[in-house]
Structure 1
C-alpha cells in the first residue's frame, strides 16, 4: 500500500463533469488518499477543512466558477431539541441502535437497495452491486463504524442487543472530538417515523452524551431542496473563506 506523509499529502484534481445538484454547472473535486498509519489524523485535519470521505479518499469541491457547496456541522454543546424533534425521538423510542464494525451484510444491502430504488432511482448509486456496497462500507483505514437501527424485540432488554427488523443504517467516522456521518439510509416505506431525521438526532444525542464538539453533515447548498433539511439542526456552522461561522 502506498504511504502518504501527513506533513506533505499529495492532492489531485478531477476533470470537470456535470454537477448533480445545480443545472448547467460543472463540478470538479480536489482529493487525496487516506491510507497508512496517519490516515486517522489526516482525516481529522481534512474534515475540519471541509473535506468528506469516500472509502480511502478524502475530497472537497474545487469548482472554478461556483462556491455553492458549503461544508456544515452541528455545534453539539449548544444544541437544543425542538418540540418537533422531541416528537420524532419519542415516536421512534421502540428503535434500538446496535454499533458494529464496518462490515457489510446482505441484510444491509437489501435495505440500501430498497432505499435507493424508492428515494433516488435516478441517481448513480442505484446500480451499485453487493460488491460495490461492500467496498463503500469496508474500504477504510480510519476509525469507522456501522450503526444499525432495529425495531426493539423481546430479546432486547435481556441482552442489550436486538435482532428485530432492520429499519436504518448509518456509516459513521469517529474523529478526535466529533463524528462525521458518511452515509445513511433507511426503510423508505416508514415515512411517518421520519427515520432520516431520527438517525441524525440519534447521532446528536449520542454526541452530546459523549461530550463531542461537532457532528459533520457534509455539504449544504443554499436553495437546493435535496439539502434543505440540514438547516433544521441548529446551531449549524458553515465553512467559508473566513473559517467556521454560525449559520442563522
Structure 2
C-alpha cells in the first residue's frame, strides 16, 4: 500500500472526542481523548501512520489525549538503531541473562491472565484496575485487525512477565507489560523494554513507541531513561540526546 493511499484512508476516518473526566495521571487535571471511529476498518499500515501523529492502541481503539489547556502527555519513541544502554540498563540486562523468551500470538491463555490479575492487585490496588475479568483483560489488550504479539519471559518454567507488543510497519509499540510482583527486584518492566528495543533492531525496524511521557508523573517518567529518545511536539518529532 502506497503512502498516498494510506493518507487518503486516514483522511476518510471519523474521529470522536470524549467528555472531560478526571485525569488518571495528574489528579488536579481534567482529561479528554480523541479516538478513531471504532466501526472503521483499520489495518496495520493505517495504525503505523496514526502512531506518527501520537495515537496509541487500547484494545480495538486508537486514541490520543486531547485535553483543554494541558499538553502534559507527550508521545515518546526510541530510535533503536541509535539507542545506547546506560550502566544501569546493562546491569538489568545482565541480571536477567537467565530469562528465556517466547514470542506468541495473542490467543487468550489462562496462565497469562492469572499473572495479569496478580500484577494489578499488587501494583494498582483500589483504583478499579484490580477489579478485572478475563473479558476486560481481552478488551484491553487484544485487537483482531492487528498483528499483536505476547512475549513470555520465563525463569526455568515459571512465567515471570508478559509483554504485549504491536508489530507495525516500521516499529514496535510497547502496549503493556505485566509481571510477577515477587520478581520486582529483577526490574522486569525495564528488561522488557530493553528486549523490545533489541528485537526491533534485529527486525530492521526503526522505533519502539513507549506511549506517553508525562514529566510530572513518576509512573511515566522512567521512559526518558532510554536514550536517545524522540518526543512529538506539534507534528514534529524532536530528538533528545541528553
Same fold per superposition (TM over 0.5): yes
Match of 2:103?
99
RMSD: 1.7
* Offset of residue 89 of structure 1: 0.9
**SS of match in other structure, 2:215:** coil
Moved over 6 A (4+): none
Match of 1:194?
187
Match of 1:159?
none
Match of 2:135?
131
Work out which of the residue numbers 199, 221, 232 in structure 2 matches 1:228: 221
Work out which of the residue numbers 165, 171, 181 in structure 1 matches 2:174: 181
For structure 2, the residue ranges without an aligned partner over 5 or more in a row are 1-8
Normalising by structure 1, report the TM-score.
0.89
Q: Take 1:184 and 1:70, find their aligned partners in 2: how far apart are those partners?
A: 20
Q: Take 1:53 and 1:38, find their aligned partners in 2: how far apart are those partners?
A: 12
* Offset of residue 35 of structure 1: 6.3
Work out which of the residue numbers 145, 154, 170 in structure 1 matches 2:163: 170
Match of 1:161?
none
Match of 1:148?
152
**SS of match in other structure, 2:130:** helix
* Offset of residue 34 of structure 1: 6.1
Work out which of the residue numbers 17, 29, 34 in structure 2 matches 1:30: 34
Normalising by structure 2, report the TM-score.
0.91
Q: Take 1:36 and 1:62, find their aligned partners in 2: how far apart are those partners?
A: 20
Q: Are the counterparts in 2 of residues 34 and 42 from structure 1 also a CA contact under 8 Å?
A: no
Q: Are the counterparts in 2 of residues 35 and 56 from structure 1 also a CA contact under 8 Å?
A: no
**SS of match in other structure, 1:96:** strand
* Offset of residue 83 of structure 1: 2.0
* Offset of residue 240 of structure 1: 0.6
Q: Take 2:204 and 2:228, find their aligned partners in 1: how far apart are those partners?
A: 16
Spell out, residue by residue over 1:64-86, the C-alpha distance to the aligned partner (whole angstroms, 9 max, x if none): 11011000001111111122211
Match of 1:52?
56
* Offset of residue 43 of structure 1: 0.6
For structure 1, the residue ranges without an aligned partner over 5 or more in a row are 153-163
